[in-house]
Amino acid sequence: MPIQKTYLLKAGFPCTLPTLPVDPARAVSWNITQELLCRLNRIKPFIIFPLVMLGATLPAYAKENLSSWKLPAVQIPKDNLQSTSKIALGKQLVFDMRLSKNESMSCASCHLPAAGGGSLTPRAFGHGGELGRWAPSWNNSGYYTSQFWDGRAASLEEQTGCLAGHMGPITAPGEMATSMDEVVAKLNAIPTYKKQFNNVFGSDVTPEAIAKAIAAFERTLVARKAPFQRYVSGDSKAISASAKRGFELFRGKAMCITCHVPPILTDNLFHNIGTPQVGPMKEDLGRYEVTKDEADNGKFKTPSLYNSASLAFFMHDGALSKLSQVIEHYNKGGNPQVKNQDPLILPLHLNDRDKVDLEAFMKTLTDPSLDRISAPELP
Protein backbone atom coordinates (compact mmCIF):
# COMPACT_ATOMS: atom_id res chain seq x y z
CA MET A 1 0.00 0.00 0.00
CA PRO A 2 1.45 3.39 -0.96
CA ILE A 3 1.86 5.80 1.93
CA GLN A 4 -0.47 8.81 1.92
CA LYS A 5 1.40 12.08 1.99
CA THR A 6 -0.19 15.45 2.58
CA TYR A 7 1.37 18.45 0.87
CA LEU A 8 0.61 21.95 1.95
CA LEU A 9 0.56 23.80 -1.32
CA LYS A 10 1.77 27.39 -1.74
CA ALA A 11 -1.79 28.42 -2.45
CA GLY A 12 -2.49 27.38 1.13
CA PHE A 13 -4.68 24.29 0.80
CA PRO A 14 -3.71 20.74 1.68
CA CYS A 15 -3.56 18.00 -0.91
CA THR A 16 -3.37 14.25 -0.29
CA LEU A 17 -1.78 11.98 -2.87
CA PRO A 18 -0.24 8.54 -2.54
CA THR A 19 3.56 8.69 -2.33
CA LEU A 20 5.49 6.11 -4.26
CA PRO A 21 8.99 4.94 -3.38
CA VAL A 22 11.29 7.40 -5.17
CA ASP A 23 14.99 7.26 -6.04
CA PRO A 24 16.54 9.98 -3.74
CA ALA A 25 18.39 11.43 -6.75
CA ARG A 26 15.03 12.22 -8.39
CA ALA A 27 13.26 13.27 -5.20
CA VAL A 28 13.14 16.98 -6.06
CA SER A 29 11.58 16.53 -9.50
CA TRP A 30 9.21 13.92 -8.00
CA ASN A 31 8.04 16.45 -5.45
CA ILE A 32 7.45 19.08 -8.14
CA THR A 33 5.45 16.55 -10.17
CA GLN A 34 3.45 15.63 -7.10
CA GLU A 35 2.71 19.25 -6.39
CA LEU A 36 1.57 19.81 -9.98
CA LEU A 37 -0.67 16.76 -9.84
CA CYS A 38 -2.12 18.05 -6.60
CA ARG A 39 -2.89 21.42 -8.10
CA LEU A 40 -4.53 19.78 -11.13
CA ASN A 41 -6.48 17.53 -8.79
CA ARG A 42 -7.89 20.57 -7.01
CA ILE A 43 -9.07 22.28 -10.13
CA LYS A 44 -10.26 19.04 -11.75
CA PRO A 45 -13.99 19.78 -11.36
CA PHE A 46 -13.51 23.12 -13.08
CA ILE A 47 -11.89 21.42 -16.09
CA ILE A 48 -13.94 18.26 -16.36
CA PHE A 49 -17.37 19.83 -16.02
CA PRO A 50 -16.95 22.30 -18.90
CA LEU A 51 -15.32 19.58 -21.03
CA VAL A 52 -18.27 17.26 -20.45
CA MET A 53 -20.68 20.08 -21.27
CA LEU A 54 -18.79 20.90 -24.47
CA GLY A 55 -18.71 17.24 -25.43
CA ALA A 56 -22.46 17.00 -24.95
CA THR A 57 -23.31 20.13 -26.90
CA LEU A 58 -20.85 19.86 -29.83
CA PRO A 59 -22.57 16.94 -31.60
CA ALA A 60 -25.87 18.77 -31.25
CA TYR A 61 -24.38 21.72 -33.13
CA ALA A 62 -22.68 19.51 -35.71
CA LYS A 63 -25.94 17.61 -36.35
CA GLU A 64 -28.34 20.31 -37.44
CA ASN A 65 -31.97 19.91 -36.46
CA LEU A 66 -33.77 19.57 -39.79
CA SER A 67 -37.25 18.85 -38.43
CA SER A 68 -38.63 21.99 -40.09
CA TRP A 69 -38.12 20.13 -43.41
CA LYS A 70 -40.36 17.20 -42.42
CA LEU A 71 -43.55 16.99 -44.44
CA PRO A 72 -46.46 17.85 -42.13
CA ALA A 73 -49.86 16.18 -42.01
CA VAL A 74 -52.18 17.25 -44.83
CA GLN A 75 -55.02 19.50 -43.65
CA ILE A 76 -58.25 17.56 -43.83
CA PRO A 77 -61.46 19.61 -44.24
CA LYS A 78 -63.99 18.97 -41.47
CA ASP A 79 -66.73 18.16 -43.97
CA ASN A 80 -64.66 15.54 -45.76
CA LEU A 81 -62.82 13.42 -43.22
CA GLN A 82 -60.56 10.61 -44.47
CA SER A 83 -61.55 6.94 -44.27
CA THR A 84 -60.03 3.85 -45.86
CA SER A 85 -63.14 3.03 -47.84
CA LYS A 86 -63.53 6.64 -49.06
CA ILE A 87 -59.90 6.74 -50.21
CA ALA A 88 -60.29 3.38 -51.99
CA LEU A 89 -63.44 4.65 -53.74
CA GLY A 90 -61.62 7.83 -54.81
CA LYS A 91 -58.77 5.77 -56.23
CA GLN A 92 -61.24 3.74 -58.33
CA LEU A 93 -62.86 6.91 -59.65
CA VAL A 94 -59.62 8.57 -60.78
CA PHE A 95 -58.71 5.45 -62.77
CA ASP A 96 -62.21 4.99 -64.23
CA MET A 97 -62.62 6.04 -67.89
CA ARG A 98 -66.42 6.01 -67.49
CA LEU A 99 -66.01 9.46 -65.98
CA SER A 100 -65.35 10.86 -69.49
CA LYS A 101 -67.59 11.45 -72.50
CA ASN A 102 -66.37 8.62 -74.77
CA GLU A 103 -65.14 6.54 -71.84
CA SER A 104 -61.71 6.96 -73.35
CA MET A 105 -59.86 8.78 -70.59
CA SER A 106 -59.60 8.87 -66.84
CA CYS A 107 -57.93 11.38 -64.53
CA ALA A 108 -54.90 9.08 -64.49
CA SER A 109 -54.61 9.29 -68.29
CA CYS A 110 -53.29 12.81 -67.82
CA HIS A 111 -51.88 12.34 -64.30
CA LEU A 112 -49.77 9.22 -64.71
CA PRO A 113 -48.41 7.91 -61.43
CA ALA A 114 -45.34 6.51 -63.20
CA ALA A 115 -44.66 9.95 -64.71
CA GLY A 116 -44.63 11.67 -61.32
CA GLY A 117 -48.40 12.28 -61.46
CA GLY A 118 -48.10 14.57 -64.50
CA SER A 119 -48.79 14.04 -68.18
CA LEU A 120 -46.59 12.34 -70.77
CA THR A 121 -47.01 15.08 -73.37
CA PRO A 122 -45.89 18.70 -72.90
CA ARG A 123 -49.50 19.84 -73.12
CA ALA A 124 -52.25 17.49 -72.01
CA PHE A 125 -54.61 16.02 -74.61
CA GLY A 126 -58.32 15.95 -73.83
CA HIS A 127 -61.49 15.44 -75.85
CA GLY A 128 -60.88 18.80 -77.47
CA GLY A 129 -57.32 17.99 -78.52
CA GLU A 130 -54.22 19.69 -77.15
CA LEU A 131 -54.80 21.84 -74.10
CA GLY A 132 -52.97 25.10 -73.40
CA ARG A 133 -51.20 23.87 -70.29
CA TRP A 134 -49.20 20.93 -69.12
CA ALA A 135 -50.95 18.62 -66.62
CA PRO A 136 -49.01 19.21 -63.41
CA SER A 137 -48.40 16.52 -60.84
CA TRP A 138 -51.29 15.82 -58.52
CA ASN A 139 -48.79 14.50 -55.95
CA ASN A 140 -48.72 16.69 -52.85
CA SER A 141 -51.68 18.69 -54.20
CA GLY A 142 -53.31 18.21 -50.76
CA TYR A 143 -50.80 20.76 -49.47
CA TYR A 144 -51.71 23.53 -51.91
CA THR A 145 -53.87 26.37 -50.67
CA SER A 146 -55.22 26.75 -54.22
CA GLN A 147 -55.36 24.44 -57.24
CA PHE A 148 -54.34 24.83 -60.91
CA TRP A 149 -51.32 26.73 -62.22
CA ASP A 150 -53.18 29.99 -61.69
CA GLY A 151 -54.83 29.02 -58.39
CA ARG A 152 -58.38 29.45 -59.71
CA ALA A 153 -59.81 26.57 -57.63
CA ALA A 154 -59.93 26.91 -53.85
CA SER A 155 -59.94 23.21 -52.96
CA LEU A 156 -59.39 19.74 -54.38
CA GLU A 157 -63.15 19.12 -54.23
CA GLU A 158 -63.77 22.25 -56.31
CA GLN A 159 -60.94 21.34 -58.71
CA THR A 160 -62.69 18.14 -59.89
CA GLY A 161 -65.37 20.14 -61.68
CA CYS A 162 -68.17 18.15 -60.02
CA LEU A 163 -69.51 21.00 -57.94
CA ALA A 164 -72.13 23.38 -59.35
CA GLY A 165 -70.63 26.59 -60.73
CA HIS A 166 -67.09 25.21 -60.96
CA MET A 167 -65.35 24.09 -64.13
CA GLY A 168 -62.92 21.18 -63.81
CA PRO A 169 -61.65 18.17 -65.76
CA ILE A 170 -64.83 16.03 -65.67
CA THR A 171 -67.03 18.75 -67.11
CA ALA A 172 -64.50 20.83 -69.09
CA PRO A 173 -65.34 20.43 -72.81
CA GLY A 174 -61.66 20.19 -73.70
CA GLU A 175 -60.92 17.50 -71.11
CA MET A 176 -63.30 14.71 -70.08
CA ALA A 177 -66.20 16.64 -71.65
CA THR A 178 -69.09 15.00 -69.86
CA SER A 179 -71.83 16.32 -67.58
CA MET A 180 -72.39 15.53 -63.94
CA ASP A 181 -75.90 14.27 -64.65
CA GLU A 182 -74.47 11.74 -67.07
CA VAL A 183 -71.69 10.59 -64.70
CA VAL A 184 -74.03 10.29 -61.71
CA ALA A 185 -76.55 8.25 -63.71
CA LYS A 186 -73.80 5.98 -65.08
CA LEU A 187 -72.29 5.28 -61.65
CA ASN A 188 -75.66 4.77 -59.95
CA ALA A 189 -76.37 2.09 -62.54
CA ILE A 190 -73.31 0.11 -61.39
CA PRO A 191 -74.47 -1.82 -58.29
CA THR A 192 -71.05 -2.07 -56.61
CA TYR A 193 -70.44 1.68 -56.95
CA LYS A 194 -73.95 2.41 -55.66
CA LYS A 195 -73.27 0.20 -52.64
CA GLN A 196 -69.85 1.75 -52.02
CA PHE A 197 -71.26 5.32 -52.13
CA ASN A 198 -74.00 4.30 -49.72
CA ASN A 199 -71.47 2.78 -47.35
CA VAL A 200 -69.17 5.82 -47.41
CA PHE A 201 -71.62 8.72 -47.76
CA GLY A 202 -74.95 7.21 -46.71
CA SER A 203 -76.49 8.07 -50.07
CA ASP A 204 -76.47 7.08 -53.75
CA VAL A 205 -73.90 8.67 -56.06
CA THR A 206 -73.99 12.49 -56.05
CA PRO A 207 -71.63 15.04 -57.65
CA GLU A 208 -70.51 16.18 -54.17
CA ALA A 209 -69.72 12.62 -53.11
CA ILE A 210 -67.65 12.02 -56.26
CA ALA A 211 -65.70 15.20 -55.56
CA LYS A 212 -65.15 14.25 -51.93
CA ALA A 213 -63.97 10.70 -52.66
CA ILE A 214 -61.51 11.90 -55.33
CA ALA A 215 -60.16 14.65 -53.04
CA ALA A 216 -59.75 12.15 -50.18
CA PHE A 217 -57.63 9.93 -52.43
CA GLU A 218 -55.54 12.89 -53.64
CA ARG A 219 -54.80 13.89 -50.03
CA THR A 220 -52.94 10.59 -49.61
CA LEU A 221 -50.49 11.38 -52.43
CA VAL A 222 -47.75 12.62 -50.14
CA ALA A 223 -44.04 11.92 -50.71
CA ARG A 224 -43.46 10.83 -47.15
CA LYS A 225 -41.11 7.97 -48.07
CA ALA A 226 -38.70 10.13 -50.10
CA PRO A 227 -35.04 9.54 -49.06
CA PHE A 228 -34.75 13.24 -48.18
CA GLN A 229 -37.56 12.77 -45.62
CA ARG A 230 -35.55 9.99 -43.98
CA TYR A 231 -32.49 12.28 -44.03
CA VAL A 232 -34.26 15.12 -42.23
CA SER A 233 -35.60 12.62 -39.72
CA GLY A 234 -32.03 11.80 -38.67
CA ASP A 235 -30.82 9.05 -41.07
CA SER A 236 -27.60 10.74 -42.21
CA LYS A 237 -26.90 7.95 -44.72
CA ALA A 238 -30.25 8.29 -46.51
CA ILE A 239 -28.80 10.59 -49.20
CA SER A 240 -25.42 10.76 -50.98
CA ALA A 241 -22.63 13.26 -50.33
CA SER A 242 -23.40 14.87 -53.69
CA ALA A 243 -27.08 15.27 -52.72
CA LYS A 244 -26.01 16.82 -49.39
CA ARG A 245 -23.95 19.41 -51.27
CA GLY A 246 -26.98 19.94 -53.53
CA PHE A 247 -29.13 20.53 -50.45
CA GLU A 248 -26.70 23.23 -49.30
CA LEU A 249 -26.88 24.86 -52.75
CA PHE A 250 -30.69 24.60 -52.75
CA ARG A 251 -30.93 26.65 -49.57
CA GLY A 252 -27.78 28.72 -50.23
CA LYS A 253 -26.14 29.92 -53.39
CA ALA A 254 -28.90 28.67 -55.75
CA MET A 255 -31.63 30.45 -53.72
CA CYS A 256 -34.30 27.87 -54.64
CA ILE A 257 -35.57 28.00 -51.06
CA THR A 258 -36.87 31.56 -51.49
CA CYS A 259 -39.91 30.20 -53.36
CA HIS A 260 -39.68 26.43 -52.84
CA VAL A 261 -40.07 26.98 -49.10
CA PRO A 262 -39.79 24.04 -46.65
CA PRO A 263 -41.41 21.84 -45.60
CA ILE A 264 -43.64 21.51 -48.69
CA LEU A 265 -41.15 23.20 -51.02
CA THR A 266 -43.68 25.75 -52.17
CA ASP A 267 -44.68 29.16 -50.83
CA ASN A 268 -48.18 28.54 -52.30
CA LEU A 269 -47.71 31.86 -54.13
CA PHE A 270 -47.38 32.86 -57.78
CA HIS A 271 -44.23 34.02 -59.58
CA ASN A 272 -43.12 34.83 -63.10
CA ILE A 273 -39.86 32.98 -63.52
CA GLY A 274 -39.46 33.76 -67.23
CA THR A 275 -40.53 30.28 -68.43
CA PRO A 276 -40.38 30.18 -72.25
CA GLN A 277 -43.95 30.45 -73.57
CA VAL A 278 -44.62 27.50 -75.88
CA GLY A 279 -47.65 25.56 -77.12
CA PRO A 280 -50.97 26.60 -78.60
CA MET A 281 -51.52 29.52 -76.21
CA LYS A 282 -49.41 32.28 -77.69
CA GLU A 283 -49.17 34.02 -74.37
CA ASP A 284 -50.41 32.56 -71.10
CA LEU A 285 -51.05 35.35 -68.60
CA GLY A 286 -51.32 32.89 -65.71
CA ARG A 287 -52.47 34.37 -62.41
CA TYR A 288 -53.55 37.57 -64.20
CA GLU A 289 -56.53 35.62 -65.62
CA VAL A 290 -57.79 35.19 -62.05
CA THR A 291 -56.97 38.56 -60.47
CA LYS A 292 -56.94 40.88 -63.54
CA ASP A 293 -54.05 42.62 -61.82
CA GLU A 294 -51.23 43.65 -64.21
CA ALA A 295 -48.68 42.75 -61.54
CA ASP A 296 -49.74 39.09 -61.92
CA ASN A 297 -48.87 38.82 -65.63
CA GLY A 298 -47.20 35.50 -66.37
CA LYS A 299 -47.21 34.35 -62.76
CA PHE A 300 -47.79 30.67 -61.99
CA LYS A 301 -48.11 28.72 -58.78
CA THR A 302 -44.85 27.50 -57.27
CA PRO A 303 -45.04 23.70 -57.49
CA SER A 304 -43.81 21.45 -54.69
CA LEU A 305 -40.69 19.66 -55.90
CA TYR A 306 -41.49 16.30 -54.27
CA ASN A 307 -41.47 13.57 -56.97
CA SER A 308 -40.78 16.18 -59.64
CA ALA A 309 -37.68 14.23 -60.74
CA SER A 310 -40.11 11.62 -62.15
CA LEU A 311 -41.97 14.14 -64.33
CA ALA A 312 -41.72 13.94 -68.12
CA PHE A 313 -42.10 17.72 -68.45
CA PHE A 314 -41.78 20.79 -66.30
CA MET A 315 -43.50 24.17 -65.96
CA HIS A 316 -47.06 25.31 -66.79
CA ASP A 317 -46.58 24.76 -70.53
CA GLY A 318 -44.20 21.80 -70.40
CA ALA A 319 -41.51 24.02 -71.92
CA LEU A 320 -38.69 22.02 -70.31
CA SER A 321 -38.23 18.27 -70.27
CA LYS A 322 -35.09 17.62 -68.21
CA LEU A 323 -34.13 18.61 -64.69
CA SER A 324 -30.78 19.77 -66.09
CA GLN A 325 -32.67 22.22 -68.35
CA VAL A 326 -34.60 23.52 -65.35
CA ILE A 327 -31.35 24.09 -63.45
CA GLU A 328 -29.80 25.77 -66.50
CA HIS A 329 -32.86 28.04 -66.80
CA TYR A 330 -32.38 29.26 -63.22
CA ASN A 331 -28.58 29.38 -63.58
CA LYS A 332 -28.75 31.84 -66.45
CA GLY A 333 -31.19 34.03 -64.54
CA GLY A 334 -34.35 32.93 -66.41
CA ASN A 335 -35.27 35.20 -69.32
CA PRO A 336 -34.37 38.74 -68.17
CA GLN A 337 -36.14 40.16 -71.26
CA VAL A 338 -39.50 38.97 -69.81
CA LYS A 339 -40.73 42.22 -68.34
CA ASN A 340 -42.52 40.88 -65.30
CA GLN A 341 -39.85 38.34 -64.28
CA ASP A 342 -39.42 37.98 -60.53
CA PRO A 343 -36.43 39.99 -59.23
CA LEU A 344 -35.39 36.87 -57.28
CA ILE A 345 -34.52 35.09 -60.54
CA LEU A 346 -30.86 36.09 -60.97
CA PRO A 347 -27.80 34.47 -62.60
CA LEU A 348 -26.52 31.89 -60.11
CA HIS A 349 -22.96 31.20 -61.38
CA LEU A 350 -23.22 27.48 -60.63
CA ASN A 351 -20.33 25.35 -61.88
CA ASP A 352 -20.73 21.90 -63.46
CA ARG A 353 -20.33 20.11 -60.14
CA ASP A 354 -22.91 22.39 -58.49
CA LYS A 355 -25.42 21.50 -61.20
CA VAL A 356 -24.83 17.76 -60.76
CA ASP A 357 -25.16 18.11 -56.98
CA LEU A 358 -28.38 20.13 -57.22
CA GLU A 359 -29.90 17.51 -59.51
CA ALA A 360 -28.79 14.73 -57.13
CA PHE A 361 -30.58 16.56 -54.32
CA MET A 362 -33.79 16.96 -56.37
CA LYS A 363 -33.82 13.19 -56.97
CA THR A 364 -33.82 12.50 -53.21
CA LEU A 365 -37.28 14.13 -53.10
CA THR A 366 -38.86 11.20 -54.93
CA ASP A 367 -41.02 8.76 -53.00
CA PRO A 368 -40.93 5.64 -55.23
CA SER A 369 -44.19 4.31 -53.77
CA LEU A 370 -46.12 7.18 -55.42
CA ASP A 371 -44.63 6.35 -58.83
CA ARG A 372 -45.74 2.73 -58.42
CA ILE A 373 -49.45 3.37 -57.78
CA SER A 374 -51.46 1.27 -60.23
CA ALA A 375 -55.08 1.03 -61.29
CA PRO A 376 -57.32 -0.82 -58.83
CA GLU A 377 -59.92 -3.31 -59.94
CA LEU A 378 -63.04 -1.45 -61.06
CA PRO A 379 -66.63 -2.51 -60.39
Which stretches of the chain bind ligand HEC, using CB under 6 A?
94, 105, 107, 109-111, 124, 126, 131, 133, 135-138, 141, 144, 147-149, 156, 159-160, 169-170, 175-176, 214, 218, 254-256, 258-260, 271, 273, 275, 300, 302-303, 305, 308, 311, 314-316, 326-327, 330, 342, 344-345, 358
Alpha-carbon span 130 to 19, nearest angstrom = 95
Nearer to ligand HEC, 38 or 151 (CB): 151
Smallest distance, ligand HEC to C-beta of residue 52, A: 42
Nearer to ligand HEC, 110 or 226 (CB): 110
Smallest distance, ligand HEC to C-beta of residue 275, A: 3
Could you give the angle at the alpha carbon of 24 between the alpha carbons of 18 and 30, nearest 5°? 45
Nearer to ligand HEC, 222 or 254 (CB): 254
Smallest distance, ligand HEC to C-beta of residue 48, A: 47
- Reduced to 3 states (helix: H, G, I; strand: E, B; else coil), residue 300 is strand
Which residues make Cβ contacts (< 8 Å) with residue 269, sequence separation at least 6? 259, 301, 302
Alpha-carbon span 74 to 83, nearest angstrom = 14
Smallest distance, ligand HEC to C-beta of residue 107, A: 3
Kindly state the DSSP code that residue 194 receives in the 8-state scheme. H
Nearer to ligand HEC, 38 or 279 (CB): 279
Alpha-carbon span 4 to 262, nearest angstrom = 64
Kindly report whether the peptide bond that precedes residue 263 is cis, defined as omega within 30 degrees of 0: yes
Smallest distance, ligand HEC to C-beta of residue 236, A: 23
CA distances 353 to 62, 99, 240, 254, 273, Å, are 25, 47, 14, 13, 24
Smallest distance, ligand HEC to C-beta of residue 111, A: 5
CA distances 337 to 84, 189, 256, 301, Å, are 50, 56, 21, 21
Smallest distance, ligand HEC to C-beta of residue 265, A: 9
Nearer to ligand HEC, 34 or 266 (CB): 266
Alpha-carbon span 329 to 275, nearest angstrom = 8
Nearer to ligand HEC, 17 or 285 (CB): 285
Nearer to ligand HEC, 206 or 258 (CB): 258
